[in-house]
Amino acid sequence: MQRDDDVLAFDIVYAAQRIKRFSKNLTLETFQTDEMANEAIQHGFIVIGEAVRHLSERVKDSKPNIPWSKLVGFRNILVHAYFGINLERVWNVITEDLDELIAALEPLIPPSDTTDS
Q: Tell me the pLDDT tens digit for each residue of 47-73.
A: 999 999 999 999 999 999 999 999 999
Of 95 and 115, more confident: 95
Which amino acid would we find at residue 79?
A: V
Interhelix angle 35-54/3-23, rounded to 10 degrees, is 160
The band of 109, judged by pLDDT with boundaries at 50, 70 and 90, is confident
Domain boundaries, the chain: 3-108
Alpha helices in the chain (DSSP H): 3-23, 28-33, 35-54, 57-62, 68-81, 87-96, 98-105
CA distance 97 to 44: 14
pTM above 0.75, yes or no: yes
What integer best gives the mean pLDDT of the chain? 90
- Which pLDDT tens digit goes with each residue over 31-43? 999 999 999 999 9
